Amino acid sequence: MGVLASISPPLIGGEAFDNSALNMLLPMHVQLDSVGSIVHVGPTLAKLFSAGTPLEGQYLFKHIQFNFPKNLNNFNNLKTHYGNPLIAQLNCHKEIDLKAVAVPMPRNTGVLINFSFGTSLKEAVSFWNLNGKGFSPADPSVEMLYVIEVQSALLEESQSLNDRLNGQREEAEEKAYTDPLTGLSNRRALDRYVKRFNRRRKPSAYSLFLIDLDHFKLVNDTLGHSAGDKVLQDVAEILLNETRPTDIVVRSGGDEFLLVLEGDQTKAQLEDIAKRIICKIKQPISWGAQKCYVGASIGIVNCHTKRPDTIEYYLQAVDEALYVSKKDGRGRYCFAP
């Protein structure tokens, strides 16, 4: 609401304007008597005070302070600023500034002060949950409220759209790095994991396990691919249970799995892990009334980020170690030299 210009007293108030008229035209006004006590408060301005706060009969400066001009701190000073722009705050809500203008009532029977939110309109509407009914129909604030509501609706819709797009992107990324059958990471995820691992400032050791299932083709040929899928899913669960959250389990091929185990572990520790995996995988896997029997051969290689060797070099080395395990009779593990 704009600042009222200085107007001669006979045009303000008077018998032609009762409280109901002023409430409609100036819902954020306050009427004071000749000593600065509150006679009447407009309905919108009244909403800004805490419920149950007594206002009528109270001294205005008990509830409102004026920050501009700086010397405006009592009723007598207010009389020297009629028609001038004022800036005020409610003592109970000092976080929002109010614009104001004061004019004398006819025959110096009191003072009428009209308030508005000015640039604080958006914050005030949100803080006090106001709507268009709290403003004069001719007040441009009503149009600003409409603009704020439209902006809020557009912002909410934009945020909703961004959330959906972000969700779809995350889902697409998850699919791009995940094996759909087992839910394990795929080769793309392995490359990303190793790149991040190698970018660490502190050199780090890790170990690669390449696991190939023994007799898996026989399961597919005799019981069908659905049984083979069940075997792969159960093996994936076994491998996840044998690793830590900081490790990564990858389905690197049809019946091949790759583990990346962080940390500098001893040969004995790695042997224990390999033995447990081999022991658990050779246990029969139920498929309906049938039992599926597979085994596991494992190649192992120790790696370190401070070495110049690439992941492709380590993968070749662990593949050769796996080949030795297969050649030596399967159901075994072998370390790369």
Segment 289-337, tens digit of pLDDT: 999 999 999 999 999 888 877 888 999 999 999 999 999 888 999 999 8
Average pLDDT, the chain: 86
- 94 within domain boundaries: yes
Q: Report how far residue 99's alpha carbon sits from residue 320's, in angstroms, rounded to the nearest whole number.
A: 81
In a domain, 166, yes or no: no
CA neighbor of 116 nearest in space, from 62, 48, 63: 48
pLDDT tens readout for residues 251-284: 988 899 999 999 989 999 999 999 999 999 999 9
**Is 168 within a domain?**
no
Encoded amino acid at 17, one letter: F
Q: Is residue 23 a contact partner of residue 42, using CB atoms and an 8 Å limit?
A: yes
Based on the domain organization, do 206 and 295 belong to the same domain? Answer: yes
Domain end (from 145, 173, 201): 145
Q: Could you report how far apart the first and last alpha carbons of the chain are, in Å?
A: 84
Does residue 15 register a pLDDT over 70? no
User: Do 25 and 138 belong together in one domain?
Assistant: yes
**Structural domain includes residue 163:** no
Give a yes or no: residue 290 inside a domain. yes
Taking the model in full, what pTM does it have? 0.53
Please say which residue of 121, 145, 169 terminates a domain. 145
| 76 inside domain | yes
Q: What is the CATH number of the domain that holds 217?
A: 3.30.70.270
How many domains would you assign to the chain?
A: 2
Are the beta carbons of 153 and 147 closer than 8 angstroms? no
User: Does residue 327 belong to any structural domain of this protein?
Assistant: yes
Cα separation, 144 vs 334, in Å, equals 75
Indicate if 265 and 330 belong to the same structural domain. Answer: yes
Full residue range of the structural domain in which residue 328 is found: 187-335
245 lies in some domain: yes
- If asked whether residues 249 and 310 sit together in one domain, one would say yes
Query: For 38-74, how does the pLDDT look when each residue is reduced to its tens digit (9 = 90+)?
Result: 999 999 999 998 877 889 999 999 999 999 998 898 9
Regarding whether 200 and 285 lie in a shared domain, the answer is yes
| Residue 41 three-state SS | strand
User: Which among 213, 317, 218 is positioned nearest to 256, based on CA atoms?
Assistant: 213
By percentage, how much of the chain surpasses pLDDT 70?
A: 91
Domain boundary among 111, 145, 179: 145
Residues 68 and 133 in one domain: yes
CATH number at residue 105: 3.30.450.260
